[in-house]
Structures are given as C-alpha cells and as structure tokens.
Amino acid sequence: MVWILRKCVWWVPGFTSAAYEPQLRALDERLRSGEPFVAHSTRHLIIAHR
C-alpha cells in the first residue's frame, strides 16, 4: 500500500507513511486477520473540442 500510494501521488496528495501510520497499522491488522481488501476506482475520459 505504501509503495503504490507514494508512486500515485494524485490518489492521496501529501501522503507520507508517518502521517497515515495509525490507518496503515489498522489496515495491516485487518489483512493479517484474513479480511479481504476491496478497493473501488472510477475513471473518466473527457474529450473536449472547441
């Protein structure tokens, strides 16, 4: 998670692992307990003409 969030800076502007440490640790606990990780994404293609 940390790697992808650091590489895709537009997903969470200003992301640092230190700033999100409590959330990352909670996510780690959930994943280790076997709970699945579900993420949703929306993409838009905008074609503009003048």
Q: Give per-residue pLDDT as tens, 25-38.
A: 999 999 999 999 99
Record the tokens describing residue 46, joined without a space.
């905008």
Give the CA angle between residues 33, 36, 40 to the nearest 5°: 145
Reported confidence tier of residue 45, pLDDT bands at 50, 70, 90: confident
Looking at residue 34, its pLDDT comes to: 96
pLDDT, average across residues 13-31: 94
Q: Which is nearest to 41 in space by CA: 3, 7, 13, 10? A: 10
Quote the pTM value.
Answer: 0.67
